[in-house]
Chain A
Amino acid sequence: AQSVTQLDSQVPVFEEAPVELRCNYSSSVSVYLFWYVQYPNQGLQLLLKYLSGSTLVKGINGFEAEFNKSQTSFHLRKPSVHISDTAEYFCAVSGPDSSYKLIFGSGTRLLVRP
Chain B
Amino acid sequence: DAGVTQSPTHLIKTRGQQVTLRCSPISGHKSVSWYQQVLGQGPQFIFQYYEKEERGRGNFPDRFSARQFPNYSSELNVNALLLGDSALYLCASSQDWTATNEKLFFGSGTQLSVL
Contact = CB atoms under 8 A, between A and B. Distances in A.
A98 interface: yes
Contacts, number: 64
A94 B41 contact: no
A99 B104 contact: no
Contact of A100 (B4, B44, B56, B108): B56
Given A41-B108, A43-B106, A100 B98 contact: yes
Interface in B79-113: 90, 92, 97-101, 103-109
Contact of A103 (B45, B92, B101, B106): B45
Contacts of A90: 42-43
Interface of B: 4, 33, 35, 40-45, 48, 50, 55-56, 58, 90, 92, 97-101, 103-109
Interface of A: 4, 6, 32, 41-46, 49, 51, 90, 92, 94, 98-107
